Structure 1
Amino acid sequence: MRLIRPGDYLVMMLAGALCLTLFWQLWAGETARTLTIRSKGKLWREVSLLHNQILDVPGPLGLTRIEVHNGRARIGSDPGARQYCVKQGWLDKAGQSAICLPNQTSIELGNGAAHYDSLSF
């Protein structure tokens, strides 16, 4: 008596394809459309990711340079010592953020709608 029959392989392949499709749809993340920039804990500016631009944001240590290019954003340079926010690289999905704590600046990508998580609930 065989435990796995020929039809079982078909069911396993369909289940695997369904899992991969759901993973792709649910975990891929939404495309970002807006960039929210904060300085010293307050909203400094909200810009569209559709326009390529370079912004210099003032902070306590100096200027933080933010680059927007082809629907992505990154912190290009920061006067902080460790450069953790610069090392994060390009952000392109809604909800991603980069924070430069020494200079009290941050960026967050959004999709134009309200974003809720467990912290803001």
Structure 2
Amino acid sequence: MRAALSAARAHPFPRLLAGDWLTLLASLLLVVLLFQALWQSQGASKLRIRQGDTVYATLSLDQKRTLHLHGPQGETEIVIDHGRVRFLRAPCNSQYCVHQGWLTRAGQVAICLPNQISLELLGKRKSYDSLNY
């Protein structure tokens, strides 16, 4: 009986058979493929700035530039920095647009509603659209 107890303590888990290893390998491969297909988004190449109902500008993100736009509430400062963009300063009280932070992926949007200015990153394809957002 002591031999059975010491054998049980030596191998707390049952041995894995060939089918078990094949199932683990197939599951791991499936997780890697799903990660590549679903959770990686494309980087953006252009920025579309809207002011009110009109497109103010469509700019390349491959630059370092600061823009100052005037809206109904006052001046808004936007920074483009080599592949990313953000609201740096806005005259609104809530500062939601500033707290949004850096936008880097195609399809991302930041909006300053009181000042009627929006930023949208464009790429070859969006990682999501309005139907599944």
2:110 counterpart SS class: strand
2:79 to 63, 67, 75: 67
1:77 to 62, 68, 89: 89
Query: What is aligned with 1:42?
Result: 54
Matched length: 117
TM value normalised by structure 2: 0.77
- 1-structure distance, mates of 2:101, 2:128: 24
| Contact kept in structure 1, 2:68 and 2:78, CA below 8 Å | yes
> Higher helix proportion, which one?
2
1:27 CA displacement: 1.8
Deviations 1:19-49 (A, max 9, x none): 1232133221111000000111210011000
Distance 1:54 1:41, change over 3 A: same
Match of 1:48, as an amino acid? Answer: S
1:87 CA displacement: 0.2
- 2-structure distance, mates of 1:112, 1:61: 34
Q: Any stretches of 5+ residues in structure 2 without a counterpart? A: 1-13
Q: Any stretches of 5+ residues in structure 1 without a counterpart? A: none
Distance 1:83 1:49, change over 3 A: same
Distance 1:74 1:21, change over 3 A: same
2:40 to 13, 24, 28: 28
Higher Cα Rg, which structure = 2
TM value normalised by structure 1: 0.84
- 1-structure distance, mates of 2:85, 2:124: 15
Query: Aligned pair 1:15/2:39, yes or no?
Result: no
1:114 CA displacement: 8.1
Give the stretch that moved more between structures: 25-34 or 75-84: 25-34
Query: What is aligned with 2:119?
Result: 107
- 2-structure distance, mates of 1:102, 1:95: 22
- 1-structure distance, mates of 2:20, 2:128: 42
- Give the superposed CA RMSD: 2.2
Match of 1:7, as an amino acid? Answer: G
